[in-house]
Amino acid sequence: MRNPLDLRLVDADIEPRDEPSTAAAPPSVFARAVSTPPGWPWEQARGALLEARHGAPLPIDQMLLRLKRLTPWSLGQGARFAACYVRATEIETRFEARVEVEDQAVSVTFEPPEAMARRARLSLIAGVAAAGIAALLFVSVAGALLARSEGETQLAAMERDAAAKLRRAETAQRVRRESAALTMAQPGDRVAAPLTDLAWAMAARAPDARIESWSWAHGVSRVEVRGETSPFADPRRGAGREGLVRPGVWSWRIQPEGAGR
């Protein structure tokens, strides 16, 4: 009769059986060739993309697509592209693959849609920042050019005013010298005649006349006037235009007193 409390010792060193490996298989990449007609490189790339999306093995919203050019661009020649597809659900991290299309090895890289969207957002932010910096630089350069143009305009106006003041000062100084010379002349030099002409020229000057100089020589008074119209508004004494002294400036001869009568 067996004792009910009889127990057997179990060997604790027995190792458990190895479980079969369940490592995930790499994503499957499907590749095919796409042809495009002759055209510019960007036109061929756009045509290849449309053809690859249209010929996808599954609905394109379930696939990730990469295009690789197989033939170099040549004027008047068609192009060949490699269209590589992979299921979007199989890509959880960055995945690189090497496939063969028409006896050419092609390396492609796939990334999860979230990473692509994040990179697109970063690219958009970088583009907006670059555009903002470019706009700021453009505004700064435009402002500097505008300020320089305004400064040059003001400087030119100041130079013109200074030149006009210098001409007036030289004219006044010349008149003073001539008046002093007339005052110091001998009584027989007929001092009264040029003084009378000068007084008449000053009194008869038209409001808009621009007389630049007055001179008297050999019994004749002359004025240099800017413009072609007569500088005098007194009809009782005439003045005749003689000729062009310099661009825009004419010489006028004042008729001796009493010549008009």
pLDDT digits (tens, 9 = 90+) for 1-12: 444 444 344 444
pLDDT at 10: 40
What is the reported pLDDT for 242?
80
| Predicted pLDDT at 50 | 92
Token pair recorded at residue 238? 């005439």
Q: List the structure tokens of 65.
A: 């697509």
User: Residue 234: what pLDDT?
Assistant: 73
The pLDDT assigned to 8 comes to 42
pLDDT on residue 23: 56
How many other C-beta atoms can be found within 10 angstroms of the C-beta atom of residue 81? 24
The pLDDT assigned to 103 comes to 85
Domain 185-254, what architecture?
2-Layer Sandwich (3.30)
Spans of the chain below 50 pLDDT? 1-14, 188-189, 260-261
